[in-house]
Structure formats: structure tokens, C-alpha cells
């Protein structure tokens, strides 16, 4: 049974800012990282959050702020869960930054919903590379579309000082220009699922320092008060249980909140690297998270020690939970974008083929006897299998529900589950009782 967390009814206050955009690819992560690095270098304790389901941006933002980054979302994380995270940050930080997702008003729930729910002032990032006076019109539209606390705008990819002056002059008097990043600023490289992972960027510290220099002197945003709420703590459902967790550049899509949740339920987490050809460690359960196995398929195929240990683990009947990329390596083959077929574990029948087009995106939930477990799907691969689904996820709003496959002790799906949304269901999947 879940325990109730003791709370202090006194609100916690901290300067806070939500960095949104008028669309995707405006440079929100670049700007958020620049602000985080700027304030962290000034000696402030900065806590950064990412709106919505995302694994890659938080890695970069952790490097910029020097502190763990968690996700906020009014549906997947929940309002109470998001409030608890914000309260925890406000209790110890000098500044809270929240990076939005997509455009400010895009999605259900949107970044605007999060800002409205928690009274977060919004700074809108606008790619100004191909506009002049229209910059002011876009800024005014973002501000007036809905009643939010609108702090101002940040111009990205600006051609030079003259262009910056033109953009500033286009703004209405009630919309300040909070900052400018010139076109020469180095942006983070991208690939099919988003930005390149922080661990792959050798020059990342220098990039972050350069961005902090370019963003210029910044004042602290307005102070926001966060009222604590009573949040249930998960019971010790995994007490004494050892869980092996794959974690490296191929299996890196791990919510920090998921690991925290498993630990809070009493699990001992043993991490290992399939890319380093490490054996699956001694454990009662195995968790294969998502990531980029397609980028490392040839190496994973050659790493027979880890593949053989994976097969040996599955043969014992102990629970194995695999999400997205973790699921992909369980099938017979993985076909990379160049058409090469790489042999995988062969624990599930079929093959996974990488495609150029996005195959699925959106919030989803899985209903189990323990209730609803929320999460999301986001993948470019297509699965061909004769295996019949044991369950089907329910999409939140639109799209098709992802199938969930079961074979013996294996549970596999494209769903990236957010464990704190239902710790009991997550525990059931990792104990074979779900």
C-alpha cells in the first residue's frame, strides 16, 4: 500500500521561467542551456525541467546546469507529481528553468497548460533568421492568444546587431526582448529522434560556455510560489529485489524519475553496458530501456557475451521488461537505414526495420490489473512479427495504441512507461505479476 508523504503547508518560492517556442526547432534547448549555464556560472543553484516526454534534452540540460533534470507534464507526470517536483526544486534552488515542448500552445496538454497551472512566466524563443518586423507580430500573437504570465521573447539565429535592433523595434511596448543569440552561435546537432546525446559531444562544455557568453547578462525572472500537495509514496513493492538495467549510449532513454521510483520501492539497481559486451549482472529482473540500438547494431551483434547472457537470463523465467530500443534487440533481426540486417537476440520472432518517416508519436497508457500506467511512444522503426499482442495501449488523444507483447517472462513494447504514474503497475511488470 502506498504511504502518504508528510508535507509542509508553507509554499516554497523561487524565481522561475518557462522557455517556450512558437514552434519546434526554434532553439528552445539551446536557449535554456545558455541560461542555465549563465546562472550556474554566476554561482546560482539552477534546477531545470523538461516539459513532456523527452530523454535527450534533459541530458544536455543536466550538463548545462550541473544538476539532475526531471520531466514535467500535466498528464503523464500529473499535476500533483509535477507540483511535487517543482516544490522540491524551489526548496533548494535559486532559479527554476522549464524548457517547453513543441510550440507554446501545441499538444494536449501543452506547455501553456503547464505554465497556466503553476503560474510560470513564459519566455518565447523565436527563430528570427528569416523575419524582421513580423517578429513583433508573432510575439504579440503568442502573448495575446491566451492569458498567461508573459515575460518576454528571446530572439534566436539573429544575423547581427542591426538585425537585433530591428527586431527590438518591432515589439509592442509591453513585450520586452529578454535576450538575443546570433546566428553564429553553435547549436546542438540533431538526428532522427531529436538532438544528439550529450555523451557524444566531446566539445559540449566549451559549447555551453560559449552559449552562456552569447546570451549576455540576464536578470532573474519573477518569483513563483509553489504550494505543496500530499503525494503518495510508493510502497516497498520491490524490497530486496535486484534489477539489472542496461545503460549506455545504445540504451540511454531512462527517466530519472523511473530509477528514483524503483529505488523508492526498495529495488537494488545494477547497471551494465551491452555496448561494452558486459554480461547481464546477477539479478531478479532485467530492464532494457529505449535508446539508439540502430546506431550501434553492428557492435551489439558482435558482442556475443552480452547476447548469450541475455538469452541465458530469459531462459531462467525471470521477468524481462523491454521498451522501444530495448525491445528491438530482442527480435531476430534489426535492419538499419542502409538496408543491412543485423542478427539480434532472437528471443522474439520477427524483425525491426528503421524507416525515415516517423512511425508513431504521442502519449499512451497501458491498463493492467494494477490500474493505468502512463507513458509515451516515439519511434521511426517498423516491427514485423507473427507474435500476437497480449495487450494494446490506449492513446491519449489521437493515434493508434502500441501493442504489448508477452512471451514467457518477457514483456516488450514501444511504450516508454513513466513508472511514478503507477508504481504498483511498474513493479508488477518487473516481478512478472502484471
pLDDT tens per residue, range 232-263: 778 999 999 999 999 999 999 999 999 999 99
CATH code for the domain of 310: 3.40.50.880
Let me know if residue 1 belongs to a domain. Answer: no
Same domain? For 320 and 359 the reply is yes
Residue at a domain's end among 175, 193, 226:
226
Same domain? For 29 and 71 the reply is yes
Same domain? For 174 and 148 the reply is yes
CATH code for the domain of 64: 3.40.50.300
- For the chain, list residues with pLDDT below 70: 1-8, 184-202
Let me know if residue 5 belongs to a domain. Answer: no
Let me know if residue 368 belongs to a domain. Answer: yes
Edge-first strand listing for the sheet containing 331-335? 341-343, 331-335, 348-354, 381-384
Same domain? For 60 and 79 the reply is yes
Q: In terms of Cα–Cα distance, which of 91, 23, 13, 19 is closest to 51? A: 19
Same domain? For 386 and 263 the reply is yes
Let me know if residue 419 belongs to a domain. Answer: yes
Catalytic residue among 22, 74, 261, 324: 324
pLDDT of residue 205: 86
Rg (C-alpha) for the chain, rounded Å, is: 22
Same domain? For 190 and 282 the reply is no
Which residues form the domain of 342? 236-431
| 258 neighbors 70 (Cβ within 8 angstroms) | no
pLDDT of residue 404: 98
pLDDT of residue 6: 46
Let me know if residue 410 belongs to a domain. Answer: yes
Residue at a domain's end among 167, 193, 226:
226
pLDDT of residue 189: 58
Residue at a domain's end among 180, 208, 226:
226
Let me know if residue 3 belongs to a domain. Answer: no
Let me know if residue 378 belongs to a domain. Answer: yes
Same domain? For 207 and 258 the reply is no
Same domain? For 178 and 71 the reply is yes
Let me know if residue 366 belongs to a domain. Answer: yes
- List Cβ neighbours of 111 (8 Å cut-off, separation of 6 or more): 18, 20, 51, 52, 100, 101, 102, 103, 104, 105, 122
**Cα–Cα distance measured from residue 315 to residue 204, given in angstroms and rounded to the nearest whole number:** 42
pLDDT of residue 99: 98
| 64 neighbors 37 (Cβ within 8 angstroms) | yes
Q: What's the total number of domains in the chain? A: 2
Same domain? For 196 and 243 the reply is no
Active site residue 22: no
Q: In terms of Cα–Cα distance, which of 188, 195, 290 is closest to 248? A: 290
| 316 neighbors 407 (Cβ within 8 angstroms) | no
Same domain? For 253 and 365 the reply is yes
Q: Which residue has the cell 524490497?
A: 239
Same domain? For 21 and 145 the reply is yes
Same domain? For 83 and 47 the reply is yes
- pTM for the model: 0.93
Amino acid at each position: 500500500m502506498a504511504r502518504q508523504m508528510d508535507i509542509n503547508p508553507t509554499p516554497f518560492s523561487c524565481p522561475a521561467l518557462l522557455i517556450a517556442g512558437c514552434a519546434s526547432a526554434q532553439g528552445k534547448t539551446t536557449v535554456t542551456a545558455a541560461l542555465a549555464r549563465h546562472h550556474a556560472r554566476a554561482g546560482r543553484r539552477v534546477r531545470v525541467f523538461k516539459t513532456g516526454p523527452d530523454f535527450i534534452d534533459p541530458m544536455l540540460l543536466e550538463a548545462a546546469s550541473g544538476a539532475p533534470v526531471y520531466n514535467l507534464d500535466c498528464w503523464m507526470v500529473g499535476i500533483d507529481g509535477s507540483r511535487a517536483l517543482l516544490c522540491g526544486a524551489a526548496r533548494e534552488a535559486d532559479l527554476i528553468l522549464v524548457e517547453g515542448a513543441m510550440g507554446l500552445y501545441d499538444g494536449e496538454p501543452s506547455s501553456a497548460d503547464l505554465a497556466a497551472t503553476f503560474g510560470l512566466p513564459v519566455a518565447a524563443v523565436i527563430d528570427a533568421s528569416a523575419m524582421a518586423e513580423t517578429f513583433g507580430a508573432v510575439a504579440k500573437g503568442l502573448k495575446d492568444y491566451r492569458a498567461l504570465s508573459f515575460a518576454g521573447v528571446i530572439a534566436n539565429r539573429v544575423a547581427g546587431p542591426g538585425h537585433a535592433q530591428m527586431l527590438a523595434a518591432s515589439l509592442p511596448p509591453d513585450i520586452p526582448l529578454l535576450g538575443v543569440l546570433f546566428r553564429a552561435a553553435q547549436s546542438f546537432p540533431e538526428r532522427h529522434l531529436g538532438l544528439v546525446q550529450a555523451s557524444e559531444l566531446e566539445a559540449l562544455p566549451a559549447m555551453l560556455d560559449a552559449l552562456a557568453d552569447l546570451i549576455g547578462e540576464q536578470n532573474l525572472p519573477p518569483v513563483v510560489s509553489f504550494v505543496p500537495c500530499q503525494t503518495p509514496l510508493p510502497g516497498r513493492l520491490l524490497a530486496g529485489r535486484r534489477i539489472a538495467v542496461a545503460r549506455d549510449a545504445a540504451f540511454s532513454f531512462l527517466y530519472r524519475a523511473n530509477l528514483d521510483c524503483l529505488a523508492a520501492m526498495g529495488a537494488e539497481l545494477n547497471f551494465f553496458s551491452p555496448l561494452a559486451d558486459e554480461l547481464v549482472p546477477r539479478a531478479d529482473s532485467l530492464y532494457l530501456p529505449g535508446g539508439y540500438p540502430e546506431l550501434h547494431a553492428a557492435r551489439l551483434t558482435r558482442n556475443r557475451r552480452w547476447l548469450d547472457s541475455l538469452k541465458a537470463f530469459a531462459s531462467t523465467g525471470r521477468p524481462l521488461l523491454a521498451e522501444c530500443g530495448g525491445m528491438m534487440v530482442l527480435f531476430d533481426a534489426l535492419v538499419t537505414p542502409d538496408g543491412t540486417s543485423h542478427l539480434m537476440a532472437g528471443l522474439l520472432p520477427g524483425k525491426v526495420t528503421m524507416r525515415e518517416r516517423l512511425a508513431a508519436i504521442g502519449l499512451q497508457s497501458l491498463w493492467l490489473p494494477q490500474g493505468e500506467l502512463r507513458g509515451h511512444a516515439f519511434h521511426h522503426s517498423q516491427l514485423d512479427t507473427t507474435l500476437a499482442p497480449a495487450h494494446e495501449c490506449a492513446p491519449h488523444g489521437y493515434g493508434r495504441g502500441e501493442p504489448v507483447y508477452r512471451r514467457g517472462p518477457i514483456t516488450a513494447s514501444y511504450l516508454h512507461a513513466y513508472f511514478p504514474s503507477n508504481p504498483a503497475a511498474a513493479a508488477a511488470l518487473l516481478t512478472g505479476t502484471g
